[in-house]
Structure 1
Amino acid sequence: MSDHPVPIGALLRAAAPDRLPEVIAEHLRRHFAAEQVEVLVADLALRQFAPLLGPPGADTDPAALRCLGSQQPATTTGPAGARLHLPLSCWGERLGVLRVDLPGRPDTEQADQLRLVADELAVALRAADRMTDRYRKAQCLQRLTMAAELQWDLLPGRSLGDERFLLAGQLEPAYEVRGDHFDWALAGDRLTLTVLNGAGEGMDAALLTATAVNAMRNARRCGADLVEQAELASDALHSRYGGGLHAATLLLEIDLVGGWVDAVDAGSPHCMIGRGGEISQVRLEQQLPLGMFGEARYEIERFRLEPGDRLLVVSDGVHAAAPGGGTTFGESALFTALRRTRLQPATEAVGTVMRGLREFHAGSEPEDDAVTVCLDWRR
């Protein structure tokens, strides 16, 4: 290894946005004697990977999947050398895994430097995503519907976190979502979270949700509180659709210091709290869905989280799912699925709930798209 390698951050910033994997591979070969390098990008469903340097196709490397889930580096050694799996994460957003084969096990200093390389690559990939289609194309292992394309492009990410909290969301079916959506934004000690279920099908539902999300963002970015966000979005939808289409929405603003949550319940998403092994539903006064009537007015309710609490929000595609017209998932299997997540981080918990939902459908085609969002408040 060279004593003074060129800082990888500088190399990545100087590179074309679509050439970041090649820059990383060359850096690792030159300065760490890497024998093989692969940048694995997680697919939209976070169940498999797409290699950016190797032949195209799905990669289901079990060690890489464990690394993605645990967010911890892992090293395995054998006669041929050492294989490292390093998580590619940026502000809590899990992008994929960097896989590196070395002639031998790295020492402590080298391992630290390799983790830094992975961190720099993750930030660069996140920044480059808007400048090239290469990474988004790799994420999509099948073609998206136009509605799904719009919804995924509108998302803030799939996870977010720091020492105070970990937040994650998942949309399914990943390649055919319509009007279900989630949004979030962090500003100091305030975290805003919204979960939406736009009425209708296909592009009609996606465009409805896009209008609502952007109206709430517009209000939020001008300093508006939850009531003003809900009312502006409702007015925008009613002006466009005349009450014919609406968006059931739950708006939350979490105080990351005191745990107080301001809430506007404008429709069907359900909110639950996991505390000490028990799960209970937060009972809120359900107000009118956004856009149902002109000049609708909304009120804020409050509840409080305790340190270590888990907050879960699911759309009606989760809690009201009833394949064959039978018992709903919310009535029979949702709380069982949630209990399975007790020892998992939020980023894994959303996948566990969605797997439970798929099992509940038992092979039948879901009639609705679905959102699960999970927040762990660490304080």
Structure 2
Amino acid sequence: MSTGEPGDARLHEFLADPEHLTSDLPTAVARCAKALDLQHAVVYLVDIQQRHLVPHTDVATPLPVDGSLAGWAYRTQSLRVEEAATGGVTAWFPLLDGAERLGVLAVSQPALTSGSLTRGRALASLLAMMITSKRSFEDSFARCTRTERMRLPSEMLRAFLPPRTIGDGTVVSTAVLEPAYEIGGDAFDHSLTGTTLHVTVLDAMGHDLASGLTSAVSLAACRNARRNGAELPDLVRTVDEALARWLPEKYCTAVIAQLDLATGVLRWCNCGHPAPLLIRDGQLLIDALEREADPPMGLPSQLSPRPRRMHEVALEPGDRVLVYTDGITEARTHEARLMGLERFADYVIRATAGGELAPETLRRLIHSILDARGNRLRDDATLLMFEWRPPAR
């Protein structure tokens, strides 16, 4: 992070000072900006629904993700620069935790130089790590990113959810879930090891606290089995047994999948859930991942004489796989028609052709559903998409 400029010594002093580990974010931003010889810096965090960039300070005002230069930096994950109203310039740096978009950093300077841009990027990287390390236990981050009151079932489920987006140089996986403050039984999970992407999308029966508890137990059982090294059929069986034992009157549908990052081989189990969709070369491959579904997870599976079946297909570089709940296809469009499979797949295809990043594609898609006439979902709506993009050989 060294820039070879006078601010280096102050930056080293800041990083070596253990007090910065316990500083609140605005204090840390101010101290670090000073150490880097940056005039002024403000962190803007994106809200849960990714509509607003909310400043983590009382001085600035929220900015729209759609319709502002700050939002452009967030949407494209790239630097944007504009003249400041008070003179000088403002540079907008995306705040990224790996592949996860946290918000943007505004850096104001009398003039931008290559050195100040380098230091601004360094500050954005440092603050992203700091935000990620603190947001799990500091309520100020949750309050900053909420625009309305969170319902209890949603509060419980969101405590279990991973970041919206994960990825590395080989794969990216991203998800959206609505209604953000009233979810009842939908949930998703994704994680990476050195060799595999693990993906889970759940839809528990009902739309209440018990539904959220069903999904929470399912996620916990899935993670427990996965972290103990269970293969896919054993992992699904672990979830079945946990639900049958602890919540015998509840069940959930699910798609649980594993992608081999080296070979592109996708393996999945479908437990009473809508079949995933495959998009290749800008086309929806109809029924490419359509298989006869097994019973939902929980007691129904225990009553079935047939063991769980695992399916397998080889992906090609650039393939996108969509896993969703029926709240997506049952949503209404602006014309008051059901979204349907082909309609929402067509949206993803057109966004892909336009070069949109996967997280931005899903953000715009879910907003198009929410902003349709009536502005109400008939059910929880979850969409997870992952893209396999291995390095060219």
Please show how residues 279-298 of structure 1 align to structure 2 within 5 Å. 279-280=284-285, 281=287, 282-293=289-300, 295=302, 297-298=307-308
SS at the partner of 1:270?
Answer: coil
Instruction: Determine the structure 2 residue equivalent to 1:190.
Output: 196
Please show how residues 207-246 of structure 1 align to structure 2 within 5 Å. 207-242=213-248, 244-246=249-251
Select 2:266's aligned residue among 248, 261, 267. 261
Q: 2:299 and 2:132 mapped to 1: Cα distance?
A: 37
Instruction: Determine the structure 2 residue equivalent to 1:22.
Output: 27
1:120 is aligned to 2:103 = no
Residues 261 and 303, structure 1, Cα contact 8 Å, conserved in 2? yes
Letter matched to residue 369 of structure 1: D
Residues 196 and 269, structure 1, Cα contact 8 Å, conserved in 2? no
RMSD: 2.2
Residues 197 and 209, structure 1, Cα contact 8 Å, conserved in 2? yes
Letter matched to residue 299 of structure 2: M
1:178 is aligned to 2:184 = yes
Letter matched to residue 293 of structure 1: P
Letter matched to residue 308 of structure 1: G
**C-alpha deviation, 1:294, in angstroms:** 5.6
Letter matched to residue 221 of structure 2: A
1:365 is aligned to 2:376 = yes
**C-alpha deviation, 1:8, in angstroms:** 8.2
Instruction: Determine the structure 2 residue equivalent to 1:344.
Output: 356
Give the TM-score, by structure 1 length: 0.92
For structure 1, which runs of at least 5 residues remain unmatched after alignment?
A: none
For structure 2, which runs of at least 5 residues remain unmatched after alignment?
A: 1-5
Residues 18 and 134, structure 1, Cα contact 8 Å, conserved in 2? no
Select 1:91's aligned residue among 90, 93, 98. 98
Letter matched to residue 114 of structure 2: T
Q: 1:231 and 1:269 mapped to 2: Cα distance?
A: 19
Q: Deviations over 1:217-262 (max 9, x none)?
A: 11111000111111111111122232x3211000010011110001
Q: 1:320 and 1:292 mapped to 2: Cα distance?
A: 26
Residues 11 and 35, structure 2, Cα contact 8 Å, conserved in 1? no
**C-alpha deviation, 1:25, in angstroms:** 2.0
Select 1:42's aligned residue among 19, 25, 46. 46
Q: Deviations over 1:280-305 (max 9, x none)?
A: 24212211110132636312110121
**C-alpha deviation, 1:154, in angstroms:** 0.7
Identity of aligned residues (%): 25
Q: Deviations over 1:11-42 (max 9, x none)?
A: 686425561232112321353241x3211011
SS at the partner of 1:7?
Answer: helix
Change (3 A) 1:229 1:8: farther
**C-alpha deviation, 1:337, in angstroms:** 1.9
Change (3 A) 1:366 1:72: same
SS at the partner of 1:29?
Answer: helix
Task: Choose 265-274 or 180-189, whichever is displaced more.
Answer: 265-274
Letter matched to residue 253 of structure 2: A
SS at the partner of 2:298?
Answer: coil
**C-alpha deviation, 1:376, in angstroms:** 1.7
Residues 13 and 124, structure 1, Cα contact 8 Å, conserved in 2? no
1:2 is aligned to 2:10 = no
Task: Choose 45-54 or 295-304, whichever is displaced more.
Answer: 295-304
Give the TM-score, by structure 2 length: 0.89
